[in-house]
Amino acid sequence: MNHSSSELRRDILSGKWVLLAPGRAHRPGETLFHRVPQPVSPARDCPFEASRLQKETPLLFLGSSERDWRILIIENKYPALRPGHTRIQNIPSKFYKVLHAEGYHHILITRDHKKNFSQLSTEDALLVFRAFQTHYQTLARHSSVRYVSFFQNKGIRGGATLYHPHFQILALPIVPSDVEESLLSSHSYFRLHKKCVYCSLLQREREEKKRVIYENERALVFAPFISRQPFEVRVFPKHHSPYFEDEKEDVLRDVSSALQFVLRRMKTRLFDPDYNFFLHSAPVYRKKAHASYHWHIEVVPRLTTAAGFELGTGIDVNVVDPDEAARVLRFRKKIKSLDPKAFNL
């Protein structure tokens, strides 16, 4: 695209518009990259250190013994949802729907206080996904659970309140409306084209190459054409696969190492930004109805702040063309300067 003009791009799947405005990156005071080294909170105050967690009853651990755990899943002490303290109750109203919500809010912790996901060994990164998958299957058995959300918040701008690397798991009694919309759209596409919309999209991205950042045998990483945030990326299993919980280990291995790759690239290329990544998978109930979905992971580095326009319209303004984002994250050699003017950002 022309870098002094803007484009409005609408995702057919989500119905959402994005305003791509690379010219806005030149504003004075616009600093995408925060080069300030981030402080490490000391391990002695950390509630997720092994010595403290030994008093907890783990929901799941992976490692050679409960003492030598590599991965631990425990209950969140400040849960957004609680199990069965009340049954799901539908309060009827003309204007809104209210559920006294039943659900689960758990935390997955990796052992090392300072090693974030991208710095784990390939084996430990796979362990994170295997532990979560096992736990996912357990949560999915509860009749009240309809959707499981898995994500990581890294750093203050990513909304994390604790430094020690951890992942969150929320099991919800509803399907989020954003997910519902993608499900409906992928279902319609499948009926019309006899093909998964994400499989078609992956094929197109692999042919066009421009936005592909990394590829291994079973996973593909690319910057989506409609990126709501600067340097947003997606990690997809290449084969058609709606349900994360049923995924085979070799795919999990390739997806987790592809995710590690791109997080390492973000760290070196984008000056160690805070970020969130999250899983999108089909709901755990009425599984057959969602066979046209394709599970994947989205990574969003937290470089900008949503303001009045985004809050008031639901349209995100993105100042970085995803073609450029892919170029920056793909290049083997470190680009000398990340001054926006230097390379069309």
Could you give the residue numbers annotated as active site? 166
Cβ neighbours of residue 290 closer than 8 Å, sequence gap 6 or more: 183, 187, 242, 243, 282, 283
Binding test (CB under 8 A) with a copy of itself, winner from 35, 55, 65, 78: 78
Element (H, E) at 75: strand 69-75
* Minimum distance from residue 143 beta carbon to a copy of itself (Å): 17
Binding test (CB under 8 A) with a copy of itself, winner from 106, 280, 327, 330: 280
**With respect to a copy of itself, which residue has the nearer C-beta, 69 or 321?**
321
Binding test (CB under 8 A) with a copy of itself, winner from 40, 156, 289, 335: 156
Gap between the Cα atoms of 344 and 4, Å rounded: 9
Tokens 């421009």, located at residue: 210
Binding test (CB under 8 A) with a copy of itself, winner from 69, 277, 293, 295: 277
Q: Are the C-beta atoms of 152 and 298 separated by less than 8 Å?
A: no
- Does residue number 110 form part of the binding site for a copy of itself (CB under 8 A)? no
- Does residue number 11 form part of the binding site for a copy of itself (CB under 8 A)? yes
- Does residue number 8 form part of the binding site for a copy of itself (CB under 8 A)? yes
Binding test (CB under 8 A) with a copy of itself, winner from 312, 332, 334, 341: 312
- Does residue number 317 form part of the binding site for a copy of itself (CB under 8 A)? yes
Site string for a copy of itself, 27-66 (x = CB under 8 A): xxxx------------------------------------
How far, in whole angstroms, is CA 200 from its chain's centroid? 21
Tokens 């981030």, located at residue: 38
Gap between the Cα atoms of 232 and 261, Å rounded: 14
Closest Cα partner for 243 from 290, 177, 173? Answer: 290
Q: Are the C-beta atoms of 186 and 293 separated by less than 8 Å?
A: yes
Q: Is 269 helix (H, G, I), strand (E, B) or coil?
A: helix
* Minimum distance from residue 196 beta carbon to a copy of itself (Å): 12
Binding test (CB under 8 A) with a copy of itself, winner from 298, 303, 327, 329: 298
- Does residue number 225 form part of the binding site for a copy of itself (CB under 8 A)? yes
